[in-house]
Amino acid sequence: MQFHKIKKLDITIKGLLYSRHGAIVLALCGGSVFQPTLAAEICAPDLLPMRVLPPDQADLPMSKLPIELEADQIEKTKQGPVIFTGRAVANQGLQSISADKLTYTESKDEVEAEGNVELRTADGDAISTSFIRYKLEAGVGETQRADYHIADRSRNTGDPKTVAMLARGSAEKIELAGFELFKLSNATYTTCVKGQDDVILSAGKVDLDFATGEGHAKNMTVRFKGVPIFYAPSMSFPISDKRKSGFLFPVFGSVADSGFVFGVPYYWNIAPNMDATITPLIMANRGLKMDGEFRYLQEDYSGIVSGSYLPNDSEFGADRGAFNLKHKQQISSRWSGDVDYQWVSDEQYFDDFVNRIGFYAQTHLPQQAKLDYKGKLWDFSASVLQYQTVDDSISAANRPHKRLPRLTLKTKIPRKRGGPKFDFYGEMVNFSHDTRVSGTRLDLTPSVSYPMDTVYGFLKPKVAVRHTSYYGLENIAAGSSSNPSRTVGVLSVEGGLFFERDTSYRGDAMVQTLEPRIFYVYANRNDQGDLPVFDTSAVAFNNFSDFFRDNQFVGADRVEDANRVTLALTSRLLDGAKGRELMQVSVGQIFYLDDREVTFNGTPQTRSTSDILLDASANLTPTLRTAGFLQWNPSDNQTEQAKFTVNYSPRTDAKVYASYRYTRRSRTDQADLGFNWPLASRWDLRGRYIYSLTNKQSLLASASVGYNACCWSAHVLVQRRVDTTTDYRNAVIFQLRLTGLAKISTGF
């Protein structure tokens, strides 16, 4: 037994207590026990105060922690409980109960609290009520009408004295069934911060199960801004970041060709490493469409399987659907594989069901499986690839070949210091096609180079031999060889120098560089007119590096008969203090020393010079960047390609850009404007506009405004775009997201 003598003003109280949990410490206190800390960030959660244990109690179990009691007055009888009145507080570990009156019964390990009761659990939950009966060690108790605040058990504030609030509400009665389960009667629940009651869930019964991270509600109504927007006789919702099975909030709205749309997604938490979402959609003008997505994740593999099926689309007149499989597999430390398989039922599918630019314009969908090996000295890959041609107007002759299979081998032989570098690349592909030339192609390219690098320049001579053979060609012209071949030797030398000088701009120290560069290529002429063309095209000069290729064809079916010199000059302006590149300008041109007789149509090319390429970029300020690219044809005195962009981004959530793209060959002449800008602390505005100067037509115009109230957000999107038939499709989409509860989207 232990005696404690406590004085408070003119009151003298003697205490005579003991406890099987250890010492019961009696003390007097004044003022508030907890001091909450307010968060300054816009969407930062409310913070709930936490007790901090002394170091000698930090690792003790609940049964070993002492009960600490504070009060203005203490009353104790031999047989009865101990009564504490006047700012009474009972603490055990991280738990605390404060009230006007506390009655502690040692035999039951039970506290009854009356008047201005505040309960703080070990996890940081807070309950305010007028009465509670509670067992400290077991976490079991019952309250009268109460207000509650639930701590976010998955979030760390970085301060041991606080915990983030997850949700709050009130209930006519709260039953505490241990530390992991709260049972609420006639309750409300919201994830909004204090003072904001925009989204309220009310129910006759709510169970908050922290062990599973789920809340379960009976006779539940969700109100937004006081207006009921959803009712369910029984529903569960997440109260942690753990995934759970159950129905999600419905998707509803109206779409131009589909009519009224309604669906209730079901989320299936199959296992910790896999889940699925199944959404039946009722479309008034089309029928019942089923959407599904299955995700899986393991240490060695992962993937997503998704699909849709709409039987007998009343608007379209046939069954419709889509399927997509993406799988990645790590077989061993060196072997890996992946599968990418895409399929749709018809060319209008993306137009009707996918409202994202870039999808509805697809004409070929890949269906590929690949196996890779990464070794110390070489890499190997094997793949099969075919395409689904979505656009039926594309003739069979213009559809791509199947590659069944394609094998590649590439060496990674390390270079000995000061010695030559040896490389090898090999490829074997079986090209299959119903109407065009088919067969197997073997392409081998051994090479040796001798790079020499210094601080003032570099020189890289290289010799390569490219041998290509074809076997078993079919669908070829009469009299043509079914097994042609070609061997070409390629010599290249690339060199450059680096000059720099100190300069200044507006008083800031700068460094300007001058970097001349030369590249010479020679390849012996070999008649290649009898070779098929499976996957080869001419280099399009889309970027400056295309000038420094040793073959001006992409693909193995043609090797250029080269005798040419590329001259280029680059100048950079660097920040003298930080070394950051502020500006870069590059210009270059190819000079042909001989005509080129290796072409696709057999007509030699006789130009003595290539187009001129100009590439430039500038970081005008830390927030403003520009870039431009120009391909100029001096022979025809016209522009072949032009690209220009301006980006302004003063912060991560604010960006404005403008771009222009012109390509003479494909008759592309487009301007693209876009922005994403915060209007205020909670508002943002987004927009994009793409205009075709060739067709004098707007391709896409969209604008959206969004508001983020933290526990809910809303966005309105207005969009007008061109579909595959060049007709316009208009959409207005409204999205309401209720944080922690569900996501509701409507569109028409």
Q: Is the pLDDT confidence value at 744 over 80?
A: no
Phi, psi of 398 (to 5 degrees): -100, 5
CA torsion, ordered 283, 286, 290, 291, to nearest 10 deg: -80
Per cent of the chain over pLDDT 70 is: 90
Q: Is the pLDDT confidence value at 298 over 80?
A: yes
Q: Is the pLDDT confidence value at 12 over 50?
A: no
Question: Regarding predicted confidence, which is higher, 356 or 514?
Answer: 514
**507: Cβ contacts below 8 Å, ≥ 6 apart:** none
pLDDT in the model for residue 711 = 85
pLDDT in the model for residue 160 = 83
Question: Regarding predicted confidence, which is higher, 740 or 301?
Answer: 301
Burial string for 570-596 (b: 16+ CB within 10 Å, else e) reads: bbbbbebeeeeebbbebbbbbebeeeb
pLDDT in the model for residue 356 = 54
Q: Is the pLDDT confidence value at 241 over 50?
A: yes
- What gap in Å lies between CA 194 and CA 128, rounded to an integer? 14
Placement of tokens 């010479």 in the chain = 520
Question: Regarding predicted confidence, which is higher, 424 or 653?
Answer: 424
Instruction: Name the residue ranges covered by the structural domains of the chain.
Output: 2-244, 672-748
- What gap in Å lies between CA 539 and CA 528, rounded to an integer? 18
- When pLDDT is averaged across residues 209-216 and rounded to a whole number, the result is 86
Q: Is the pLDDT confidence value at 87 over 60?
A: yes
Nearest C-alpha neighbor of 248 from the set 226, 225, 281, 274: 281
Q: Is the pLDDT confidence value at 158 over 80?
A: no
Q: What is the DSSP letter of 545?
A: G
Give tens-digit pLDDT for 590-649.
Answer: 999 999 999 988 889 999 999 999 999 999 888 999 999 999 999 999 999 999 999 999
pLDDT in the model for residue 274 = 92
In this structure, of 12-21, 55-64, 434-443, the range with the lowest mean pLDDT score is 12-21
Give tens-digit pLDDT for 702-723.
Answer: 999 999 888 888 888 888 887 7
**Burial category of 565 from C-beta neighbours within 10 Å (exposed 0-12, middle 13-18, buried 19 and up):** middle
Q: Is 20 helix (H, G, I), strand (E, B) or coil?
A: coil
pLDDT in the model for residue 256 = 66
Amino acid at 119: L
Radius of gyration of the chain (CA): 37
Confidence of residue 454 (pLDDT cuts 50, 70, 90): very high
Q: What is the DSSP letter of 56?
A: G
Maximum distance among all alpha carbons in the chain? 122
Q: Is the pLDDT confidence value at 428 over 60?
A: yes
Question: Regarding predicted confidence, which is higher, 608 or 248?
Answer: 608
- What gap in Å lies between CA 324 and CA 380, rounded to an integer? 26
Question: Regarding predicted confidence, which is higher, 14 or 169?
Answer: 169
Q: Which two tokens stand for residue 292?
A: 């599904």
pLDDT in the model for residue 507 = 81
Burial string for 533-553 (b: 16+ CB within 10 Å, else e) reads: ebebeeeebeebebbebbbbb
Q: Residue 629 CA to chain centroid, in angstroms? A: 30
CATH class of 2-244: mainly beta
pLDDT in the model for residue 302 = 96
- When pLDDT is averaged across residues 396-423 and rounded to a whole number, the result is 93
Beta strand 728-738 with 683-692 is: unpaired
Q: What is the DSSP letter of 351?
A: H
Q: Residue 556 CA to chain centroid, in angstroms? A: 36
- When pLDDT is averaged across residues 327-341 and rounded to a whole number, the result is 96
Confidence of residue 137 (pLDDT cuts 50, 70, 90): confident
